[in-house]
Every structure is written in structure tokens, then in C-alpha cells.
Structure 1
Amino acid sequence: MYERFGKRLLDLAAALLLLVLLAPLFLAVALAVWAWLGRPLLFVQPRAGRGGMPFTLLKFRSMAPGRAPDAARLGRFGRALRASGLDELPQLINVLRGEMSLVGPRPLPLAYLAHYSPRQALRLRVRPGLVGPGVAAGRNAVAWPQRLELGADYAARPPRLSLDLMLAWRSLWVLLRGQGVTAPGHATMPSFTPPGPRDPFA
């Protein structure tokens, strides 16, 4: 029942309720982005959804425009915004559209599709999530192999309300603590690069 109807109905009801309750916070974050970074307020990027289908991910912008490295464009305000997780709030609209779920593997760039192993590609069986196993495990502090395995493991199992509630709670705890905002040694999270072919003589 939860797999066929409940998860999507819960997504719709919770996303709509959160959008209403958090409207003042949305406005405050939008004004802060406008004051610190100017326009546009939103960062939009194609990401891979369920089945690998592309959709437009919405986020509040946290970096200055330009082609400089992330570390140079991510100032104090942007780091604080990312640490709070408030930059992800516009993805509630993606949830209402049916492009995302509240809980699931985080949506990743389309360019990564060609690099997934068959196991890693299992993550595409389900809608990507606003929060999920990777966030609950520590966000960007979790290395790519583990993040992709967590997403594959989640997608390989039938959806369960108890699991989604647990992952949502753990993700919220990680966000409230400002944990895992960056990968070790990086300003954000390095791009996913698959391992090269193994040396048969190694």
C-alpha cells in the first residue's frame, strides 16, 4: 500500500504543508540571497530523476556567478546557507511536481549516468529525494562509493514508511548540526569519477 499510493500521497501532503508553514522562511532566505548575491535567486540545473529522466532541480543560489573555482565563489554567506540546508528548500516544488520525493537518493547530474555501475544505477529505480540515505550518513563527508551504494541499497528494497521516517529524522539531525557540508579537502563535493580499469598485474 505504501509503495503504490502512500509514499506519493505523503510526499504531496507534506510538501504542500511545509511550503505553507515555511513561507516566511522562504521569503527571508530569498531576501538574504538577493542582498548578498543579487539575482537570480535560484540555482537551476538538470538532474537525473527516476529512470534517468532529466528534470530541473531548484535551489537557492549560494555562490557568486562566474567561472572561478567553487572555493573562490563560495563566501561566508554561501557557506552558512549550505550548512543550514535552507538552500534546498525550493526542492519542495520539485516534490509537488512529482520529480522528487521527500526521501530518496539525492539527485545527481546527468553526466554521471554514463559512469554508474549496474549496481549504482539501481538508484534510478526511485524518485530522488530531498533527504535520504546519503544525507543521513553525513552528506558530503561521505565518499562517493559509499554514497552510491547507500542509494542503490535504498532503491533495491520495497519502500517502507518506517525506513523513510528514520532517514528523514537522521537527515534532519545531520542538517541541524551542520555536518558534512563539504568533502574533506574540498570547498563543496568533488565530481564523481569512476575508478579506472584494474591492473591485472596489481
Structure 2
Amino acid sequence: MQPHAARVPLSKRLLDKAVAGFALLMLLPLMLIVAVLVLLVDGGPAIFGHERVGINGRRFRCYKFRSMVRDADAQLARILASDPAARAEWETTRKLTVDPRVSRLGLFLRRTSLDELPQLWNVLRGDMSLVGPRPVTADEAVRYGDHFATYSAVRPGITGAWQVSGRNEISYPERVDLDVHYVTNWSLACDLGILLKTVNVVLTGRGAS
């Protein structure tokens, strides 16, 4: 039976908009510096938008500072075609532990979570929430199976249970379980707890990729 999603009140959305708007104003100088660094190091666009699945299955562009080289898709295809171990890891987790597509600056941005700052704009637009399930691609969405309706009952988050529970140190099925548990047991106290834990994860870089 499909788990029943907890009802998320309007107060969560209002809090999202207030915090995201304030954070964008305060962090704008830092974001401009990051954008210039990306342009200087690798050229091309500083911000990358990737299609993800959001609330009610709606597709949206999830924004990040670009952490990969410009020919990342071509490099991924070559890696998966030539390295069976990398292909097996990708098919299991949709990530690579050692990813040659990520630039040196990109590694720093990911470890410090600075690459995710543009998602504050996604929060203001209503695509995302500060806290929620991790935004997934259409290919990943099928991994949720019967739980997809639960996952898509709320907006995906910049941070969430997965991000503060080990990130790449946990398996994909465990990640699905964390998202389902979050949605079905949502509370404001839970969101505040995850936000506090996120600060620790960002400062320590635990599980970052």
C-alpha cells in the first residue's frame, strides 16, 4: 500500500520564500565571486541547469554552479564504455566515486556545497523547498517504484535526510527509504533539525562528492 504523505502546511512555503530571499540578498557577493571563478577556470556558462522531477511529477530546471568540464557528457559516455567497474557503479548509484568530469574548482565547490547556492532561486520560484527529498532525474525517478507518488507529493529540497545521513555513503534503496520517511513523517521540527545538521555536514564535508 502506498504510504500516506504528511500534509505540508502553507507555513513551510512562506518560510522557504522568506529564508531563500534573505539568503540570496546576503550571499549575492559570494555568488558573483564563484560565478567569475568558474568563468575564469573553464569558460562557458557559470550556472548549469539540469532537468529534475519535482512536486506532482512536474519537470523543472535545477540550477547549480557548473562543477564539471564543458564536455562532461562525452567524457561520461567514454568512461562507461571503457570501464566496467565505473559503469557498474553508475548503474547502481548514478554517481562515480572518482569522477574525471569534475574540475578542480568543481571539487571544491561540491565539498563546500557552494555549487548548490543557485538553488535558492529554485526555492523562490516554487520548484524546490529548503528541506525535502533530493531532486532526481527522470531516470532516477523509476527507482522509487510504488513510492514515487510519495516522493512527488512535496517539493524536493536543497538539503534533506539523504544529505545529512551520509550522502554517497548510503545505498540508493536506503536513500529512497529516507525520502519516503521524511515525506510521511514531516514536521517543522524535522525540517529545523535537518537544517542544523546540514550546517555540520557542510563544515565537515562528510559524505560530500
Residues 170-189 of structure 1, C-alpha deviation per residue, up to 9 Å, x if partnerless?
Answer: 1221111111123xxxxxxx
Residues 100-127 of structure 1, C-alpha deviation per residue, up to 9 Å, x if partnerless?
Answer: 0000011000122233221354211110
Structure 2 runs not aligned, ≥5 long:
1-6, 77-95
Q: What corresponds to 1:153 in structure 2?
A: 181
Q: What corresponds to 2:47 in structure 1?
A: 42
The counterpart of 2:127, out of the listed 96, 99, 117, is 99
How high is the TM-score relative to the length of structure 2?
Answer: 0.81
Q: In 1, are the aligned partners of 2:142 and 2:148 still within 8 Å (CA)?
A: no
Q: What corresponds to 1:163 in structure 2?
A: 190
Q: What corresponds to 1:174 in structure 2?
A: 201
Shift of 1:4: 2.3
- RMSD, aligned α-carbons: 1.5
Q: What corresponds to 1:122 in structure 2?
A: 150
**AA partner of residue 179 (structure 2):** G
User: Which ranges of 4 or more aligned residues in structure 1 deviate by more than 6 Å?
Assistant: none
Q: What corresponds to 1:68 in structure 2?
A: 75
Instruction: Label 1:49 to 1:123 Cα distance change in 2 as closer, same or farther (>3 A).
Output: same
Structure 1 runs not aligned, ≥5 long:
183-202
Q: What corresponds to 1:19 in structure 2?
A: 24
Q: What corresponds to 1:192 in structure 2?
A: none
SS in structure 1 at match of 2:162:
helix
Structure ranking higher on relative contact order (CA contacts 8 Å, 6+ apart)? 2
Q: In 2, are the aligned partners of 1:59 and 1:90 still within 8 Å (CA)?
A: yes
Shift of 1:42: 1.1
Q: In 2, are the aligned partners of 1:48 and 1:109 still within 8 Å (CA)?
A: yes
Which 10-residue stretch deviates more, 159-168 or 98-107?
Answer: 159-168
Q: What corresponds to 1:188 in structure 2?
A: none
Q: In 2, are the aligned partners of 1:120 and 1:148 still within 8 Å (CA)?
A: no
How high is the TM-score relative to the length of structure 1?
Answer: 0.84
Which 10-residue stretch deviates more, 72-81 or 162-171?
Answer: 72-81
Q: What corresponds to 2:162 in structure 1?
A: 134
**For the residues of structure 2 that align with 1:115 and 1:154, how far apart are their CA atoms?**
17
SS in structure 2 at match of 1:136:
coil
**For the residues of structure 2 that align with 1:139 and 1:48, how far apart are their CA atoms?**
19
SS in structure 2 at match of 1:117:
helix
Shift of 1:166: 0.2
**For the residues of structure 2 that align with 1:74 and 1:101, how far apart are their CA atoms?**
26
Aligned length: 180
